[in-house]
Amino acid sequence: MTRAVPIVADIAYHDLLDDPYPIFRRLRATAPAVYVEAAKLTLVTRFADIAAIERDPATYSADNPTSLVNKVMGPTFMRKDGAEHTIGRKAIEPSFRPATIKDHWAPKFTVICERLVRDLAEAGEADLFTALAAPMASLALMEMIGFEPMPWQRLAEWSQALIDGAGNYAGDPEVERKAMQAGADVDAAIEAVLDRHRESPNPTILSSMVNADPPMPIEAIRANIKVIIGGGLNEPRDAILTLVLGLLANPAQKQNVLAQPELWPAALEEAVRWISPIGMYPRRATRTVELSGVTLPQDLQIGLCVGAANRDDQRFPDPDSFDISRPKQSHLAFGAGPHFCAGTWVSRLTVGRIVGPMLFERLRNLRLRDEAPPIVRGWVFRGPVSLPVRWDA
Q: Report pTM.
A: 0.92
Mean pLDDT of 339-348: 80
Is-contact 336 49, C-beta < 8 A? no
- Is 124 a residue whose pLDDT tops 70? yes
Per-residue pLDDT tens digits for 24-54: 999 999 999 999 999 999 999 999 999 999 9
Angle (nearest 5°) at CA 189 between 347 and 179: 75
Which domain CATH number covers 17? 1.10.630.10
Is-contact 203 103, C-beta < 8 A? no
- C-alpha distance from residue 255 to each of 324, 361, 373 (Å): 12, 12, 21
Is-contact 326 317, C-beta < 8 A? yes
Is-contact 374 240, C-beta < 8 A? no
Lowest mean pLDDT among 123-127, 307-311, 332-336: 332-336
Name the residue with higher pLDDT: 196 or 167: 196
Per-residue pLDDT tens digits for 259-277: 999 999 999 999 999 999 9
Q: Which domain holds residue 249?
A: 3-390
Per-residue pLDDT tens digits for 55-92: 999 999 988 776 777 777 877 766 566 767 677 788 88
3-state SS, one letter per residue, for the chain: CCEECCEECCCCHHHHHHCCHHHHHHHHHHCCEEEECCCCEEEECCHHHHHHHHCCCCCEECCCCCCHHHHHHCCCHHHCCHHHHHHHHHHHHHHHCHHHHHHHHHHHHHHHHHHHHHHHCCCCEEEHHHHHHHHHHHHHHHHHHCCCCCCHHHHHHHHHHHHHHHCCCCCCHHHHHHHHHHHHHHHHHHHCCHHHHHHCCCCCHHHHHHCCCCCCCHHHHHHHHHHHHHHHHHHHHHHHHHHHHHHHCCHHHHHHHHHCHHHHHHHHHHHHHHCCCECCEEEEECCCEEECCEEECCCCEEEECHHHHCCCCCCCCCCCCCCCCCCCCCCCCCCCHHHCCCCHHHHHHHHHHHHHHHHHHHCCCCEECCCCCCEEECCCECEEEECEEECCC
Residue 46, pLDDT score: 98
Angle (nearest 5°) at CA 91 between 198 and 217: 60
- Is 385 a residue whose pLDDT tops 70? yes
Residue 78, pLDDT score: 62
Residue 361, pLDDT score: 96
Residue 74, pLDDT score: 74
Per-residue pLDDT tens digits for 138-192: 999 999 999 999 999 999 999 989 988 887 877 889 999 999 999 999 999 999 9
- Is 339 a residue whose pLDDT tops 90? no
Residue 341, pLDDT score: 76
Per-residue pLDDT tens digits for 90-120: 888 999 999 999 999 999 999 999 999 999 9
Is-contact 286 260, C-beta < 8 A? no
Is-contact 267 257, C-beta < 8 A? yes
Is-contact 226 179, C-beta < 8 A? no
Provide the number of structural domains found in the chain: 1
Task: State the pLDDT confidence band at 336, using cuts at 50, 70 and 90.
Answer: confident
Task: State the pLDDT confidence band at 279, using cuts at 50, 70 and 90.
Answer: very high
Mean pLDDT score of the chain, rounded to an integer?
A: 93
Residue 90, pLDDT score: 85
